[in-house]
């Protein structure tokens, strides 16, 4: 029963950030879009299909003026009436591809074709950075992918990775907005980044960028990548730091408006309402949770113990909620998993026998967790029994970053499929 309740709370969070109603509501108050001779639609992200469907629904009486495309994962390209959904990468592989480059280049050409009275709507959501690649001249897609992988393995933050990627791109760091010369460019954004910073979400294709070429070089030096990163990447960043290439956009034109319409905070608020409806006292730890996944799990284990033993900060029945996005620093021979799977495995390992009366669920709101077919996992005291029966320990799998195979063996994988949205992660811990 507790597993079902945890899943119901997580599902309520995901449902609250479905993109169709969010986009419809946002466009209802934009008269400039309805009067435009052309409505150009561009963008990228895992919520792209729902966002595009919401736009077409909102502009059903103006569809003859709508044209454009969005880069989305393969398998999410069901035909719409006017907007083409372009398959820019395979499902479960969060890496840029040549198909993504082709889509991004078509978007640049479309925006550059805008007349003075045309408007554009840019639909951005989680996964946009990988789905919207357009490397600068002299840097190949393979070069850009290689430096991104190096940064990920070193545990670089999303801010640091985006700083480097923006300075290797023709669309990120405000450059997509720079291509538009029409009347209004409205960016509607479903945020997958802690704090919802416009310059970081999808690497900020329509937002000003406070970072510089020098900052990007400092990121590589911080992680000792100055010799291992591709030479083309280093040469471009060094030339940019010398002023040989223009910087990313530092202010956007007056015609550009950026609006966040969905976020992790919205999802957590819905999760809280559902948990209270089910009879739980709620401790909401917020949407700003970052850090190494195992360290976050250790902190949450301490909160669970305090609830069970001291009835503090709240007594049982309790629901602890936390959002945000943590990091997993991989070793040389990592197994299969993601930050949500590892969080659940690490909490099981920390609590051990104290899992009695505790249910923990962690899932990516997009339905994906790392390179797996699972959104995350759920565990409870039955998980301990399965571990004992198979004579294995959760900690062994945590140390190998192999949590997917742990839950494949003992049960608990959440295979929701792609949800059509993405606002980072939602974790639900129930204590009775």
Per-residue pLDDT of the chain (432 residues; tens, 9 = 90+): 899 999 999 999 999 999 999 999 999 878 888 889 999 999 999 899 999 999 999 999 999 999 999 999 998 888 999 999 999 998 767 789 999 999 999 999 999 999 999 999 999 998 898 899 999 999 999 999 999 989 988 888 878 988 999 999 999 999 999 999 999 999 999 999 899 999 989 999 999 999 999 999 999 999 999 999 999 999 999 999 999 999 999 998 899 999 999 999 999 999 999 999 999 999 999 999 999 999 999 999 999 999 999 999 999 999 999 999 998 988 778 899 999 999 999 999 999 999 999 999 999 999 999 989 999 999 999 999 999 999 999 999 999 999 999 999 999 999 999 898 989 999 999 999
Q: Are 51 and 35 in contact (CB under 8 A)?
A: no
How far apart are alpha carbons 407 and 113 in whole angstroms? 51
Residue that the structure tokens 């505790």 belong to: 358
Backbone phi, psi, residue 258, to 5°: -115, 130
Q: Cβ contacts of residue 407 below 8 Å, gap of 6+? A: 341, 344, 345, 374, 377, 379, 413
In the chain, which segments carry CATH 3.40.50.10180?
A: 18-134+169-212+247-262
Instruction: Please choose, from the candidates 310, 308, 140, 168, the residue with its C-alpha nearest in 3D space to the C-alpha of residue 240.
Output: 168
What confidence score (pLDDT) does residue 281 get? 98
- pLDDT given for residue 252 in this prediction: 87
Q: Would you say 376 and 362 are in contact if contact means Cβ atoms under 8 Å apart?
A: yes
Nearest CA to 307 out of 256, 349, 343, 359 is that of 359
Cα distances from 219 to residues 132, 162, 225, 306, in angstroms, run 22, 10, 9, 39
C-alpha–C-alpha distance, residues 71 and 77, integer Å: 9
The single residue listed with the structure tokens 């792209």 is 48
What residue ranges of the chain are covered by domains with CATH 3.40.1480.10?
Answer: 265-431
Q: What is the pLDDT of residue 40?
A: 98
Classify residue 394 as left (phi > 0), alpha (psi -120 to 50) or beta: alpha
DSSP letter (8 states) at residue 201 = G
Topology of domain 18-134+169-212+247-262, CATH: Rossmann fold (3.40.50)
- Position 308 scores a pLDDT of 97
Non-local CB neighbours of 84 within 8 Å, separated by 6+ positions = 68, 69, 70
How many Cα atoms within 13 Å fall on the side-chain side of residue 400?
A: 12
- Peptide linkage before 154 cis (omega within 30 of 0): no
Do 96 and 63 touch, CB atoms closer than 8 A? no
The whole-number pLDDT of residue 94 equals: 77
8 dihedral zone (left: phi>0; alpha: psi -120 to 50; beta): alpha
Q: Any idea how long the chain is?
A: 432
In eight-state DSSP terms, residue 195 is T
Domain 265-431 falls in which CATH fold? Answer: glycerate kinase, domain 1 (3.40.1480)
Looking at residue 157, its pLDDT comes to 82
Contacts of residue 141, defined as CB under 8 A and 6 or more positions apart, other chains included, come to 96, 97, 98, 101, 133, 135
Q: What pLDDT is recorded for position 162?
A: 86
pLDDT at residue number 137:
95
Q: Which of 181, 198, 178 is nearest to 248 (CA)?
A: 178
Give me the pLDDT at residue 279, please: 98
Give CA–CA dist 141/157, Å, rounded: 21
């Amino acid at each position: 029963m507790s597993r079902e309740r945890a899943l119901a709370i997580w599902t309520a969070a995901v449902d609250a950030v479905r993109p169709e109603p969010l986009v419809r509501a946002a466009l209802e108050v934009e008269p400039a879009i309805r009067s435009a001779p052309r409505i150009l639609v561009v963008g990228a992200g895992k919520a792209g299909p729902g966002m595009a469907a919401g736009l077409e629904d909102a502009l059903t009486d103006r569809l003859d003026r709508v044209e454009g495309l969005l880069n989305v994962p393969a398998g999410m390209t069901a035909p719409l009436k006017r907007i083409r959904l372009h398959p820019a990468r395979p499902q479960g592989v969060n890496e840029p591809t040549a198909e993504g480059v082709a889509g991004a280049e078509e978007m640049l050409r479309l925006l550059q074709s805008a007349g003075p009275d045309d408007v554009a709507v840019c639909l951005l959501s989680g996964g946009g950075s990988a789905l919207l690649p357009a490397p600068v001249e002299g840097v190949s897609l393979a070069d850009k992918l290689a430096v991104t992988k190096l940064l990920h393995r070193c545990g670089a933050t999303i801010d640091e990775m985006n700083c480097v990627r923006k300075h290797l791109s023709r669309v990120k760091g405000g450059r997509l907005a720079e291509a538009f010369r029409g009347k209004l460019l409205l960016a509607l954004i479903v945020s997958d980044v802690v704090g919802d910073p416009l310059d970081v979400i999808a690497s900020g294709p329509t937002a000003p960028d406070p970072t510089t070429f020098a900052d990007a070089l400092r990121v590589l030096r911080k992680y000792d990548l100055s010799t291992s990163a591709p030479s083309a990447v280093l040469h471009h960043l060094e030339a940019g730091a010398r002023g040989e290439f223009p910087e990313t956009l530092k202010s956007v034109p007056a015609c550009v408006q950026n609006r966040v319409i969905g976020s992790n905070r919205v999802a957590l608020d819905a999760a809280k309402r559902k948990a209270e409806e089910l009879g739980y006292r709620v401790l909401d730890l917020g949407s700003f949770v970052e850090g190494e996944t195992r360290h976050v799990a250790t902190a949450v284990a301490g909160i669970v113990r305090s609830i069970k033993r001291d009835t503090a900060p709240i007594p049982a029945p309790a629901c602890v909620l936390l959002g945000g996005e943590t990091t997993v620093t991989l070793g040389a021979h990592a197994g299969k998993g993601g930050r949500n799977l590892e969080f659940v495995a690490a909490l099981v390992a920390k609590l051990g026998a104290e899992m009695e009366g505790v249910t923990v669920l962690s899932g990516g709101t997009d339905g994906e967790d790392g390179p797996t077919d699972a959104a995350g996992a759920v565990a409870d005291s039955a998980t301990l029994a399965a571990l004992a029966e198979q004579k294995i320990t959760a900690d062994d799998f945590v140390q190998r970053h192999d949590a997917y195979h742990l839950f494949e063996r003992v049960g608990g994988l959440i295979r929701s499929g792609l949800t059509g949205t993405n606002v980072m992660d939602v974790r639900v811990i129930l204590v009775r």
